[in-house]
Chains A and B, each alone.
Chain A
Amino acid sequence: MEDFVNAWAYFLNRWEYLLETLLDHFVLVVWATLIVILIGVPLGILISRAKKMQEIVLGTVGVLYTIPILALLGILITIMGIGTRSALLALVIYGLLPVVRNTCVGINQVPEKTKEAALGMGANNLQLLMRVEIPLTFPVIFAGIRTAMVMTFSLATYAVFIGAGGMGRVIMQGIRTYNTGMLLAGIILVVIATVSLDRLIGYVDHRVKKRFSLVE
């Protein structure tokens, strides 16, 4: 209980620093998510057409996903050095799987009859993709993005190990200086932020699902 009191005291004392750090953290997550979307969605679309590519790509991304993050960071340090760049790369690698997989699976799940109707009416492949497949898959893709973003937010606490900023710094420092107040304040802040982020995206997700409902 005393620790919580300390945490509150620490927060009152250093809320500027904490919020600043939280913002850094958030910015890192946003960048990572944007890149994941930029790479993951087109990749998912590409492989949705080719069965073999699907296996290869999904398999690779899946394996990368299972590498424990500290190990991955260790590898990245030796290849790319420390800093935000490496942290970003690590976060992107982890964020790819949900987005790529959801995109690919989502597109493959568009009902045949719907595609046939569109093609029968004279849609070319690009129009089929842009006017039918992507709009119909959008809720699934968005769910993937949501998963990726929330997960990235949590993982970004590890960015501290590769020399990037973020809430991980607060947590680690709290540990290293035996300052439970700082530690708890950091943890609680991360938890609150993660849950809030999830709720926020969840709300958007809900609206998206309503608009793009796949129910016939």
Chain B
Amino acid sequence: MTREVSVELQNVDKIYDTAKVVDGINLTIDKGEVFVLIGPSGCGKTTTLKLINQLIPHTSGTILVNGEDVTKLDAVGLRRSIGYVIQYIGLLPHLTIEENITFVLQLLKRPKKEQHERALELVETVGLPVEYLKRFPRELSGGQQQRVGVARALAGDPQILLMDEPFGAVDPLTREQLQNELLSLQEAIQKTIVFVTHDMQEAFKIGNRVGIMREGKLVALGSPMEIINSSDEFVRNFIGHGALFDALNSIPVKQVLSKDIPTAREGETLTDKTAKNGWENIFLLNDQGVCLGYVPVENLDSTRTISSRNMVPLPRGCSPDLSIKRAVEEMLYNGRAWIPVASEDNVFQGVVTFQSCANLQT
């Protein structure tokens, strides 16, 4: 699959008087990826974001959006084609929710009917009741307002979304909810998202790739796992210890399935083929491939026949797409060092263990 580039920054600088707020940034953001910019306060991440839609014009370097140089484009038109979500939400207080959502469409002078239909669509997408369209921002909670903010950004169906600490102004519980919703939304709509945050957990949780900035420069760039394995001292200090676990939040268990787990059908006997090194349990599958339970090797009688009679029920399993972090939490919850994995139609995929997770590092 060829990577299509959505946004590209080439040697971009932004200088205010004598301060170089953005210093020689080079990065490409692929279509459909969630790219997170993170760094300490004042590192230039928000400024960098605003260079993309030219809310702030860059001093030197080139910025390409969908292959076109932004300086050659009409800035207003550019912004109408890019979704923009800010931290303080910034809903227009004098407009109803519907009018807020359709704001870009109003600017584009789209017909009223189209606007209304789009509003209905989007309010559902972000999980708000249709009645809310008639309300005013002040009547909504912070979390609800933020959802409206996202809906608003999506109204013009932009390919690119710029999000500047959008979940910063809500409580942690709501924040987590919103993050999860963003992830499911992204799965459905596949936008290119450039996301600025100062929260490492958030960055690793939602980012496909993460860029760490410091004093205007990009000091680290890569997938969450790559960042974690960075040897740069600043980066290691910045992300701190808890980060590893958070990084695991973005990796699904299907990447760490244990290899060569012993499985058998009803009535089969334990042979050298089925007895694998070190494995204490044989997993009993039916004809459809669904796992019925497991048989501890020590339970086998002299016939060494695998049958449902000496089977132990399977503990709760998980989907192959569940993040490692969640899977480990499940393991701990179940009091085991392993967890079975089954696809949507219950077909046994294998097993994930602590060790197989740890093997990720090697």
A118, CB-defined interface residue at 8 Å: yes
CA gap between A212 and B76 in the complex, in Å:
27
- Chain A residue numbers with a CB within 8 Å of B106 are 131
Could you give, for residues 120-142 of chain A, a 1 whenever the CB lies within 8 Å of some chain B CB and a 0 otherwise?
11111001000110011000000
Give the Cβ gap from B77 to chain A, nearest Cβ, in Å. Answer: 7
Contact check, B55 vs A122: say whether CB atoms are below 8 A apart. Answer: no
**Which chain A residues border B81 with CB–CB below 8 Å?**
122
Give CA–CA (A143, B106) in the complex, Å.
Answer: 29
In the complex, whether B84 has a CB less than 8 A from a CB of chain A is: yes
With A213-B138, A216-B138: A124-B76 Cβ-Cβ less than 8 Å: yes
Task: Place the interface of chain A in its size category.
Answer: 20 to 34
Q: How many angstroms from the CA of A135 to the CA of B93 in the assembled complex?
A: 10
Main secondary structure of the interface of A (DSSP, over half): helix
B138 touches A113 (CB 8 A): no
Asked whether A117 and B92 contact (CB < 8 A) given A122-B104, A123-B107, A215-B138, the answer is yes
Q: Which of B80-113 contact A (CB under 8 A)?
A: 80-81, 84, 86, 88-94, 103-104, 106-107
Q: A48-79 CB contact bits vs B (8 Å, 1 = yes)?
A: 00000000000000000000000000000000
Per-residue 0/1 for A94-134: is the Cβ within 8 Å of any B Cβ (1 yes, 0 no)? 00000000000000000101101111111110010001100
| Residues in A whose Cβ lies below 8 Å from that of B86 | 113, 116-117, 120
A-side contacts of B14, CB under 8 Å: none
Closest to A115 in B: B90
Q: How far is the CB of B109 from chain A (nearest CB, A)?
A: 11
Q: Which residues of A contact B79 (CB under 8 A)?
A: 119-122
A179 and B76 alpha carbons, distance in the complex (Å): 69
Are B93 and A127 in contact, with the CB atoms below 8 A? no
A5 interface contact, C-beta 8 A: no
Check A113/B90 contact, CB under 8 A, given A120-B53, A121-B152, A213-B138: yes
Check A214 for interface membership: any CB of B closer than 8 A: yes
Within 8 Å CB of B340, what residues of A? Answer: none
Name, among A114, A211, A215, A216, the residue most crowded by chain B CB atoms within 10 Å (CB to CB).
A216
B55 contact set on A, CB distance < 8 A: 116, 119-120
Set of chain A residues within 8 Å of B80, measured between Cβ atoms: 121-122
CA distance A118 to B162 in the complex (A): 14
| Chain A nearest Cβ from B188, distance in angstroms | 22
Within 8 A of A (CB), among B129-153: 136-138, 145, 152-153
How many Å from the CB of B170 to the closest CB on chain A?
A: 13
One digit per residue, 1 when the CB lies within 8 angstroms of any chain A CB and 0 when it does not, for chain B 325-347 equals 00000000000000000000000
Q: Which residue of B lies closest to A135 (CB)?
A: B94
Beta-carbon nearest neighbor of A120 in chain B: B84
On whether the beta carbons of B107 and A122 are closer than 8 Å, the reply is yes
State A167–B93 Cα separation when bound (angstroms). Answer: 43
Measured in the bound complex, the distance between the Cα atoms of B138 and A111 in whole Å is: 15
Q: Indicate whether A114 sits within 8 Å of B107 (C-beta atoms), given known contacts A120-B86, A122-B80, A123-B76.
A: no
Q: Name the CB-closest residue of B to A125.
A: B76
Interchain CA distance A212-B81 in the complex, whole Å: 29
A-B contact pairs, 5 of them (CB 8 A): A114-B93, A117-B89, A117-B90, A118-B103, A215-B93
Q: Which residues of A contact B (CB under 8 A)?
A: 111, 113-114, 116-124, 127, 131-132, 135-136, 211-216
